[in-house]
Amino acid sequence: MLKLEYKDYTLDFKFDAGTSRGILRKHHVVYLKIYQSSMPDIKGYGEAAPLVGLSPETVADVLEALPDLAEKLEKVTIPIDEDDVWVLVDQLVGMELPSLRFALETAFLDLIGGGKMQLFDNDFTTGSKDIPINGLIWMGEESFMKTQISEKLNKGFKCIKLKVGAIDFEQELRLIEMLRKESESLMIRVDANGAFPVNEVFARLTELAKYGVHSIEQPIMPGQWEAMQLICKRTPVPIALDEELIGVAEFSQKQELLKMLRPQYIILKPTLLGGFKQTLEWIRLANQMNIGWWLTSALESNIGLNAVSQFAGNFSDIGYQGLGTGQLYSNNISSPLCISGAYLGIDTKQQWDLPF
Q: pTM value?
A: 0.95
Torsions phi, psi for 268 (to 5 deg): -115, 115
- The Cα angle at residue 97 between residues 93 and 99, in degrees rounded to 5: 105
State residue 21's pLDDT score.
67
What integer best gives the mean pLDDT of the chain? 94
Centre a 10 Å sphere on the Cβ of residue 40 and count the other Cβ atoms it contains. 9
* Rounded Cα distance, 330 and 327, in Å: 8
State the average pLDDT over residues 247-251: 96
State residue 80's pLDDT score.
95
Catalytic position from the list 33, 152, 269, 277: 269
Question: Each residue of 150-177: pLDDT tens digit?
Answer: 899 999 999 999 988 767 889 889 989 9
| 163 among known catalytic residues | yes
* Rounded Cα distance, 346 and 129, in Å: 9
* Rounded Cα distance, 175 and 157, in Å: 16
What CATH code would you report for 131-346? 3.20.20.120
Q: Could you tell me the residue ranges of all domains in the chain?
A: 2-112, 131-346
Q: Give the model's confidence band at 23: pLDDT under 50 very low, under 70 low, under 90 confident, else very high.
A: confident
**Homologous superfamily of 2-112:** Enolase-like, N-terminal domain (3.30.390.10)
State residue 303's pLDDT score.
98
CA atoms within 13 A on the CB side of 315: 18
Are 279 and 270 in contact by the 8 Å Cβ rule? The answer is yes
CB within 8 A of 121, min separation 6: which ones? none
State residue 166's pLDDT score.
67
| 7 among known catalytic residues | no
Are 138 and 163 in contact by the 8 Å Cβ rule? The answer is yes
Q: What is the DSSP string of 127-190?
A: TS--EEBPEEE-BS-HHHHHHHHHHHHHTT-SEEEEE-SSS-HHHHHHHHHHHHHH-SS-EEEE
State residue 87's pLDDT score.
97
Question: Each residue of 78-92: pLDDT tens digit?
Answer: 999 999 999 999 999
Instruction: Report helix angle 82-92 to 276-288, nearest 10.
Output: 110
Percentage of the chain beyond pLDDT 90 is: 81
- Worst-scoring range by mean pLDDT, 146-155, 207-216, 332-341? 146-155
* In the predicted structure, residue 324 carries a pLDDT above the cut 90: no
Catalytic position from the list 43, 163, 254, 277: 163
Q: Give the model's confidence band at 20: pLDDT under 50 very low, under 70 low, under 90 confident, else very high.
A: low
> Maximum Cα–Cα distance for the chain, whole Å?
63
Question: Each residue of 177-209: pLDDT tens digit?
Answer: 989 998 899 999 999 989 899 999 999 999 999
* Rounded Cα distance, 334 and 355, in Å: 9
State the average pLDDT over residues 279-285: 98
Q: Break the chain down into helix, strand, coil percent, rounded to 5.
A: 35, 25, 40
Percentage of the chain beyond pLDDT 70 is: 99
